[in-house]
Structure 1
Amino acid sequence: MVFMVTDYSSPDTGRTPLSPRRRVFALAWPLIVSNLTVPLLGLVDTAVVGHLPDSRFLGGVTLGATLFSFLYWGFGFLRMGTTGLAAQACGRDDLDDLIRLLGQSLALAGLIGVALIALHPVLIPLGLQLLDGSAAVTAEADLYARIRILSAPAVLANYALIGWFLGRGYSRVTLLLMIINNAANIVLDLVFVVGLEMTTDGVALASVIADYLTFVVGAGLALRAWHGWGWRRVSGVVADIAGYRRLVGVNLALFIRTLCLLFAFAFFHSRGAQLGDVTLAANAVLLQFVLLASYGLDGFAHATESLVGQQIGANDRHGFRRVVGAAIEWSLATAAVASLGFALGGEALIALLTDLPEVQAMAERFLPWMIAMPILAVGSYLLDGLFIGATRTGAMRDTMILAVAGFYLPVWWFSQSLGNHGLWLAFVSFTVARSLLLGAVFWRSWRRGYWFA
């Protein structure tokens, strides 16, 4: 496949193998670029709907998109679990297991997607009630959601496809699929809303069509791996029950871990709201700093997932250590650049994100937390990538629960007198705790030789 990132060249190619540092970067840069394409779609959605004659349309799209961001994020385990298992199968050169994993991940994604569509009469009203918009905005959000839910099987299948490609080292396919999805979404937004004069329903329909188009392209690329397989052989491995047990076991732990992470962000927003509208708005601005830093840190974490899984699958301890060392170097460099950028340009970025004087002043008061955040959070991103690649998701689940219950909530409780500083202290403590706990688990299990048992 033309998009493959090669780990080692074949002897007859005469090409020099990539160093671990270059291999990590070669995998990471398409992922970083694909992350950067995501805000572009949000900007276009806002610009297109923001020019409609009534503000309820923009509010409805915003509310509906927020609902689906949380809903689909909750099933992000389909990407993560598939990446680790595919990387290990790739390291073992086990084509049978790769085919089995592809078929079973898509089957599981389709099953969950159909279940979400069937349950949408309950899920959508409940979700919109929790988001608590005005009656007019909620009505538009309901229209958006009832159309957008039809994309659930495609969205979840795309998670599985992206995880499978990433596990095999095809990060440029991930970039291709993201570009196709966002480009189709933008074009269809313009066609439906500007050209056909649709409103909220046009934006939702554009997303649905873009998601299914992305799935068709991704599935077409993935089907090349099925070449030479008879249908009976394919159906046999897809129906293998033992494979589903392994897949569900890995993904269930990730699902619980993701729910804890969602709770952490929801709790942060709810406590911030109790501190006043200005504080809530300032925190929303500052969280964009966290998002910006995550684009780079996530890219190297995802590269770590793939390369670590391949080294474990190949039982290559030396390669494992070299890959982890290179990932640490890139991640620390990225975190340092982010912190320096926030220190030098943080106030300018705040002014770009909001022109409300009171919100700007409030955000600038808490800017030091953002300057420190990338350095303090880098371990949580990198270790997540390492544990996903190793499919040690049970440890991720357990340490996440402990970080929330043993650090985040107690620190918030005892620091309430500090106001918003106490809230940020709790959030940062939660992030640091994730790093320390996962780091301790890794060090203990590595010393005992469990990673290559």
Structure 2
Amino acid sequence: MEQPVIKPRVRPPVWSEELRATLTLAWPLILSNLTFALIQATDVVLMGWLGPQQLAASALGINLTWPLGFAAFGILTAASPMMATALGAKAHSVRDVRRSFRQSMWLAVMAALPLWLMLWHAETIILALGQQPDLARDAAIFLRGYMWTMLPWLLFQAMRNFLAAVERPGWVLAISAVGIFANALLGWALIFGRFGLPAMGIFGGGLASSIVWTGIALALAAVILTDRQFRRFHLFGHFWRPDWPRLGRMLRLGIPIGFAFAFEGAVFGAAAYLMGLIDAASVAAHAVALQIAALTFMVPWGLSQAATVRVGRALGAGDVDGLGRAGWIAWSLGVLFMAAMAAVMWAVPRDLVGFFLDDTPANARVIDLAVTFLVVAAAFQIFDGAQVVGAGMLRGLHDTRMPMLFALLGYWVIGIGAGAWLAFERGWDGVGIWTGLAIGLGIVSALMLGRWALRERFELVRTRGAG
């Protein structure tokens, strides 16, 4: 009897496998990033209800937190490729993962102390930066409530890096989503005096964020302590035991990341302060346009975080082809998404601004400026997506020093320099500042992509141990 022909099982293409793995890891990270941005967006909306003056002051306050806050966040980010590479080399690498996690928590505590000291003296700093006295006063009042977010926010990021490295970020999304509604409700109550609470105005908005971020960090810690899939790492065991070699390695890898993040975060903060040299309406409009751009940025940022993990795991496993696939897929997804968002910003800028500001005579000039800024922001969407995913790809290779220099050159030498020149020498005002930001992002994205494309020539793909 004729035997049936057994067809060999066709294995799915490795590119589709990597696409599936990247999307599976990235979508909870993207949505949790969006929840983080939406928490800040609720602050912007609530301050807009108070008035343009309060919106401008809170924007100056938040922008003051960015340089050191993003620097600390960048240093903590070193734990992500370190944990991912350890797990790529050995799937059950509990001790190496725990060492990196523990020291990232140490760094969060160490970074919060100077941040608190700086923000406590915010009014003096803001006045020294040439801002109007009434804006500096109100910004300092806001920060007296908001400054306490820094420690729980950094601790949350350290825990989130662990969940991303083990490719289980779902809890981050769930807890962050609850935080959106909690921040909106508590902020509304404390600002305007609802549910029997006192009306604290601009200070209440900052205090609400501090309370909510503390709750978010405690909730994520509780999940890590109680969930079976995480308990085996014993992450909080012997928490106070020093691990100086691991701390030193994390600083060597993380300090360049921290500087790169600080350069990027501070350039937008500097843009806000340059707007303050024009007028309060420009600051408020900048805050709205930047918040909209920040919401779209959360998607490529999530893809960047996924790229760091996927490239890092392939690096630890010695899979050179696999890390290339991981990087290019994340980069392509990020650029395509931001191209779509650029089209939306070009098409309906006034509708987008309308989500943040009511169309009233008091807000008319702020709305017109925000619409103009948003049209310029549309132009740099693609560059912004390309540079952030490119940086994540290179972090997966433990390559952090050259991206730091790229950020310094692109954002500060070219971007803010061109923006200030266009604004004050050529008379472009706020449009000039935003144009400079777009030029800087374009330079950085090109440099990041070029370094990734030449990764083998620069010997960035040699396998590395967990250390």
After TM superposition, the score normalised by the length of structure 2 is: 0.78
The 2-side partners of 1:66 and 1:342 are apart by: 23
Deviation at 1:99, TM superposition (A): 0.6
Q: Which residue of 1 aligns with 2:327?
A: 324
Q: Which residue of 1 aligns with 2:198?
A: 198
Q: Which residue of 2 aligns with 1:89?
A: 86
The 1-side partners of 2:154 and 2:411 are apart by: 27
The 1-side partners of 2:85 and 2:277 are apart by: 46
Superposition map of 1:239-258 within 5 A = 239-258=242-261
Q: Deviations over 1:149-189 (max 9, x none)?
A: 44443222112111221222222222123124334434444
Deviation at 1:148, TM superposition (A): 4.0
Deviation at 1:144, TM superposition (A): 4.6
The 2-side partners of 1:340 and 1:98 are apart by: 42
Q: Which amino acid aligns with 1:417?
A: R
Among 208, 217, 234, the alignment partner of 2:219 is 217
Q: Which residue of 2 aligns with 1:104?
A: 103
Among 66, 70, 77, the alignment partner of 1:73 is 70
SS in 1 for 2:426: helix
The 2-side partners of 1:44 and 1:180 are apart by: 13
Is residue 295 of structure 2 the alignment partner of residue 292 of structure 1? yes
Classify 1:103/1:366 alpha carbon distance in 2 versus 1 (closer, same or farther; 3 Å): closer
Deviation at 1:228, TM superposition (A): 7.7
Q: Deviations over 1:385-433 (max 9, x none)?
A: 1122223111221111222455335544765436255444422221111
Q: Which residue of 1 aligns with 2:344?
A: 341
Q: Between Structure 1 and Structure 2, how many residues are aligned?
A: 434
Q: Deviations over 1:2-55 (max 9, x none)?
A: xxxxxxxxxxxxx99972112222222222222333454346556767778x99
Is residue 170 of structure 2 the alignment partner of residue 172 of structure 1? yes
Among 407, 425, 428, the alignment partner of 2:414 is 407
State whether residues 99 and 237 of structure 1, in contact with CA within 8 Å, keep that contact through their aligned partners in structure 2: no
The 1-side partners of 2:420 and 2:41 are apart by: 37
Classify 1:404/1:35 alpha carbon distance in 2 versus 1 (closer, same or farther; 3 Å): closer
Between stretches 425-434 and 291-300, larger displacement belongs to 291-300
The 1-side partners of 2:373 and 2:161 are apart by: 36
Among 447, 453, 456, the alignment partner of 1:443 is 453
Q: Which residue of 2 aligns with 1:392?
A: 399
The 1-side partners of 2:142 and 2:366 are apart by: 30
Q: Deviations over 1:241-270 (max 9, x none)?
A: 110111111221122223322342234334
Among 368, 373, 383, the alignment partner of 2:380 is 373
Classify 1:154/1:440 alpha carbon distance in 2 versus 1 (closer, same or farther; 3 Å): same
The 1-side partners of 2:48 and 2:434 are apart by: 32
The 2-side partners of 1:178 and 1:160 are apart by: 14
SS in 2 for 1:76: helix
Is residue 232 of structure 2 the alignment partner of residue 227 of structure 1? yes
Aligned-residue CA RMSD (Å): 3.7
Deviation at 1:326, TM superposition (A): 1.8
Deviation at 1:383, TM superposition (A): 0.5
State whether residues 57 and 199 of structure 1, in contact with CA within 8 Å, keep that contact through their aligned partners in structure 2: no
Classify 1:196/1:143 alpha carbon distance in 2 versus 1 (closer, same or farther; 3 Å): farther
State whether residues 80 and 388 of structure 1, in contact with CA within 8 Å, keep that contact through their aligned partners in structure 2: no
Classify 1:102/1:418 alpha carbon distance in 2 versus 1 (closer, same or farther; 3 Å): same
After TM superposition, the score normalised by the length of structure 1 is: 0.80
The 2-side partners of 1:363 and 1:48 are apart by: 17
Deviation at 1:97, TM superposition (A): 0.8
The 2-side partners of 1:367 and 1:49 are apart by: 20
Classify 1:19/1:126 alpha carbon distance in 2 versus 1 (closer, same or farther; 3 Å): farther
Q: Which amino acid aligns with 1:34?
A: S
Q: Which residue of 1 aligns with 2:28?
A: 30
State whether residues 99 and 246 of structure 2, in contact with CA within 8 Å, keep that contact through their aligned partners in structure 1: yes
The 1-side partners of 2:304 and 2:409 are apart by: 22
Classify 1:236/1:43 alpha carbon distance in 2 versus 1 (closer, same or farther; 3 Å): closer
Between stretches 156-165 and 349-358, larger displacement belongs to 349-358
State whether residues 99 and 226 of structure 1, in contact with CA within 8 Å, keep that contact through their aligned partners in structure 2: no
Q: Which amino acid aligns with 2:30?
A: I
> 5+ unaligned residues in a row in structure 2: which ranges?
1-11
The 2-side partners of 1:141 and 1:414 are apart by: 27
The 1-side partners of 2:139 and 2:279 are apart by: 25
Classify 1:155/1:411 alpha carbon distance in 2 versus 1 (closer, same or farther; 3 Å): closer
Classify 1:365/1:222 alpha carbon distance in 2 versus 1 (closer, same or farther; 3 Å): closer
Classify 1:208/1:245 alpha carbon distance in 2 versus 1 (closer, same or farther; 3 Å): same
Q: Which residue of 1 aligns with 2:4?
A: none
Classify 1:418/1:161 alpha carbon distance in 2 versus 1 (closer, same or farther; 3 Å): same
Q: Which residue of 1 aligns with 2:5?
A: none
SS in 2 for 1:293: helix
Deviation at 1:206, TM superposition (A): 3.4
